Amino acid sequence: AQRVTQPEKLLSVFKGAPVELKCNYSYSGSPELFWYVQYSRQRLQLLLRHISRESIKGFTADLNKGETSFHLKKPFAQEEDSAMYYCALKGRTDSWGKLQFGAGTQVVVTP
C-alpha cells in the first residue's frame, strides 16, 4: 500500500538557519511527489513537484528513489516560511486528482 510519512509534527528553526523537512514514502513503482504548503488563514497550495526540478521561494526537494525520500530543504529560513507543509504522492495509475498526503509538518521560524 502506498504511504507518505512525515516524521516531524513540528519543526522550530531560527531565521537564517537551514531547514529540512523529511518525507518518506512507500510505493511500488515510480510515483510523482509534491510538496504543498498552507500559510496561516490561507488555502493549501502547491509549493513544488519533483518532475519540475525547480526551486520555489528558495526551497528545493530531491527525489531519492533508493531511500524512498523526498525531503524539502531551504538553506536560509525566513519568517514568512512559517506554515504547515504537506508531502504528497500520486501513483502513476491514480486518477489525476488523487493525492496521498502525509500528516504534515508545522514549521515555525523565529527571529
Partner 1 sequence: ETGVTQSPTHLIKTRGQQVTLRCSSQSGHNTVSWYQQALGQGPQFIFQYYREEENGRGNFPPRFSGLQFPNYSSELNVNALELDDSALYLCASSSRGAGNTIYFGEGSWLTVV
Tell me whether residue 38 is exposed, middle or buried, using C-beta atoms within 10 angstroms of its C-beta: 0 to 12, 13 to 18, 19 or more.
middle
Kindly state the number of chain residues that form the binding site for partner 1, as judged by CB under 8 A: 20
To partner 1, the closest distance from the beta carbon of 91 in angstroms equals 11
Closest CA to 2 of 22, 31, 23: 31
Q: Is residue 97 within the footprint of partner 1 (CB under 8 A)?
A: yes
Here the cell at position 84 is 504547515
Window 59 to 88, contacts with partner 1 (CB under 8 A): 86, 88
Q: Which residues are near partner 1 by CB under 8 A?
A: 4, 6, 43-46, 51, 86, 88, 94-104
